[in-house]
Structure 1
Amino acid sequence: MVDVGRWLQSQRYQFITPTPATHALVLGRRTDATASDLRDIFGWNLPFAESLLPTEWMAKLQRSGLVQAWGAGLQRATVRFSTFGSLLFPHSSFPTTQNESVFFGPDTYRFAGLIRRQLSLRPLQGRSRVLDMGCGSGAGGLVAAIHDRTVSPQLVLADISPLALRFAQASAELANVPHVGFSQGDLFNSVAGDFDLVVANPPYLNDGAQRLYRHGGGRWGEALSIRILREGYPRLAPGGRLVLYTGSSISQGGDHLLQAAEAELAAYPCRWSYEEIDPDVFGDELQNPAYADIDRIAAVGLVVQKP
């Protein structure tokens, strides 16, 4: 996977991943059903003729299981590659319907932007320890790690999914980030020590199929976010920060995640800030019975700093 990624980088490959709905719409209106370039193959995940790629790279893709036969002599990539600035991230192919799919999309870009803004306000110092909890592709932790290349933080990418850690390891190699550790397990039970920065972008929906990458638990998908807040704060080093990007269900002007977070944070002598980053995401979810009383779902950022 890393070799393929480095080749794509050498070809100046770029692909910004949209929402699944946009992805489906774009594919639906295309008159050509097969790929014509690298963006079609590894971004839009269109079937392609083997002759579209150099023989050497086609053979590597087949040996590594990164393509599969797709009828009528065509192939289809089993992975997507998305870009954020100079970084390249492999993740699950479209559509992400499997339980352990590794997501990358607009939430990832907003999450990365939140981290960048926080580090611009207060950069990492010296040999900081950074944890990306529920790392998925590793985007959050890697964006933090390269924000200032003169600082070389010790980065831990943690996830419950072995597939996510496989993608995260490839992402770290493609980003040329040193001092990266990987940990599989149930949230903070899988990692040791305290951290100067913890970043997290957990699943925050109430997903009827309870897919790992979408379902946050609780009434509206908020449970995992609150658990990260509850378990993460004690693992901050003095002066450490927790940067949580997640979603909140809003009804009659009330922000349900904020209310739960305020109750948790009341027990700690900390400073914190909270912002709506996007007031309306995943609007189609409001059709589901779990959201019958919800007016909108907002993407939010919660930043907590330990004294």
Structure 2
Amino acid sequence: MNTLTSIDPTGNDAPATDEGHDLALLRLGQHLKAQNYRFVTVTPLTHQRVNQREENRKARSLRDVFGWSRPFEGDLLAQEQLEALLDSGILRAHAGLWASEVRWSSLEDLLLVHSGFPTVAHDSVFFGPDSYRFAQAIEEHLQTSLHTIRTAVDVGCGSGVGAILIARARRDAQVLAVDINPTALRFTAVNAALAATENVSAYHSDILAGTTGEFDLIVANPPYMQDTQQRAYRHGGEQLGSQLSVRILAQSIERLTPGGSLVLYTGAPSVEGVDLFLEQAKPLVDTPDFAWSYREMDPDVFGEELETPTYRDAERIAAVVLTVTRVG
């Protein structure tokens, strides 16, 4: 069952030192839902371009504050609400105005909290176009798979979108949301509570190291860029960011029940026509023990990265879905 207490990085329940902050987040989410708030989160580059327009320098609505992360004047919120959000640390002072530390994004009828723009802190929790594609991959699998799901896990859960989608579709399943980032675990708990998915539990785990047993479904949307700052929400390791995805694949396929599946949404960099992720993944799954499929959801994402020295040899980065099912 999800709770709004803090999650200790060791994996143990910690004193609820951030409980007030997280309860305030939950109440804010409830308020935004009651106001029919909706916001589709775009890429960071699009976000930046839209916010740089002169007329967008200051917020005029709740979408501007909690979607576009624009600074605002105090009269945009009721005084009592403004003071409560300031006291909880959700709002901060910004150049004589106020600004939100978090964003709220819509996914179908869900509302999900994640980090404000720009996501520069090492413990940032990212949500964006990848999250929508990840959700699509999960929903397609749930609609087509006949395998009973009793246990599931969302690896590197971030805002918890994968875990919440599974938990809503399979109310009898026990769904874990695991991450190495305590902020992600707290945001996941808030989002799960707002979605009324009581069968989601958030735990600290480096991939699956902090879990036991086998799973009927494992999903993951890991960071897949090679980030020079090695920020946890963005850095996918060596091999142009594909290293972490390969680690998740290797650990996950060993923990699948017979008939269980891994749905891995990630980025695949290509160098001279060679898909670096698939080149590493194929030897792990192309065996009699597994059935697998692989497809590109988008052939060209984060093209601006090709201008950086790290990606000087890359031709493109594709958004891909690898689905692996244990035979038996």
For the aligned pair, the TM-score class normalised by the smaller chain equals over 0.9
Which residue of the partner structure matches residue 288 of structure 1?
Answer: 308
* Secondary structure of 1:51 counterpart: helix
Which residue of the partner structure matches residue 141 of structure 1?
Answer: 163
- Residues in 2 aligned to 1:280 and 1:94: alpha-carbon distance in whole angstroms: 23
Tell me if structure 1 keeps the 8 A contact 2:135–2:162. Answer: yes
Tell me if structure 2 keeps the 8 A contact 1:152–1:178. Answer: no
Which residue of the partner structure matches residue 110 of structure 1?
Answer: 133
- Structure 1 segments of 4 or more deviating over 6 A? none
Q: Is 1:160–2:180 an aligned residue pair? A: yes
Report the CA distance shift for 1:268/1:186 in structure 2 as closer, same or farther (over 3 A).
farther
Q: CA deviation at 1:32?
A: 4.4
Aligned pair partner of 1:71 in 95, 104, 116: 95
Q: Is 1:39–2:63 an aligned residue pair? A: yes
TM-score, length basis structure 1: 0.95
Q: Is 1:131–2:131 an aligned residue pair? A: no
Q: Which moved more, 1:259-268 or 1:96-105?
A: 259-268
* Secondary structure of 1:219 counterpart: helix
Tell me if structure 2 keeps the 8 A contact 1:41–1:76. Answer: yes
- Residues in 1 aligned to 2:166 and 2:176: alpha-carbon distance in whole angstroms: 11
**RMSD (CA atoms):** 1.3
Q: CA deviation at 1:268?
A: 5.8
- Residues in 2 aligned to 1:153 and 1:7: alpha-carbon distance in whole angstroms: 29
Q: Which moved more, 1:54-63 or 1:259-268?
A: 259-268
Q: Is 1:196–2:216 an aligned residue pair? A: yes
- Matched to 1:269, the amino acid is D
How many residue pairs get matched? 303
Aligned pair partner of 2:290 in 267, 270, 289: 270
Which residue of the partner structure matches residue 37 of structure 2?
Answer: 13
The superposition leaves residues 191-214 of structure 1 with CA deviations (integer Å, 9 ceiling, x where unpaired) of: 122111100000111111111111
Which residue of the partner structure matches residue 120 of structure 1?
Answer: 143
Q: Which has the higher contact order (CA 8 A, sep 6+)?
A: 2
Q: CA deviation at 1:182?
A: 1.4
Tell me if structure 2 keeps the 8 A contact 1:135–1:168. Answer: yes
- Residues in 2 aligned to 1:57 and 1:131: alpha-carbon distance in whole angstroms: 36
Which residue of the partner structure matches residue 112 of structure 2?
Answer: 89
Q: Is 1:181–2:181 an aligned residue pair? A: no
Q: CA deviation at 1:239?
A: 0.8
- Residues in 2 aligned to 1:185 and 1:131: alpha-carbon distance in whole angstroms: 11
Matches within 5 A, 1:215-230: 215-230=235-250
* Secondary structure of 1:112 counterpart: helix
Q: Is 1:54–2:78 an aligned residue pair? A: yes
Tell me if structure 2 keeps the 8 A contact 1:274–1:301. Answer: yes
Q: Which moved more, 1:261-270 or 1:57-66?
A: 261-270
Tell me if structure 1 keeps the 8 A contact 2:262–2:323. Answer: yes
Q: CA deviation at 1:33?
A: 2.2
* Secondary structure of 1:188 counterpart: coil
Mind listing any 5+ residue stretches in structure 1 that lack a counterpart? none
The superposition leaves residues 157-182 of structure 1 with CA deviations (integer Å, 9 ceiling, x where unpaired) of: 00000011011111100110012211
Report the CA distance shift for 1:32/1:160 in structure 2 as closer, same or farther (over 3 A).
closer
Q: CA deviation at 1:154?
A: 0.7
* Secondary structure of 2:209 counterpart: helix
Between the two proteins, what is the percent identity of the paired residues?
44
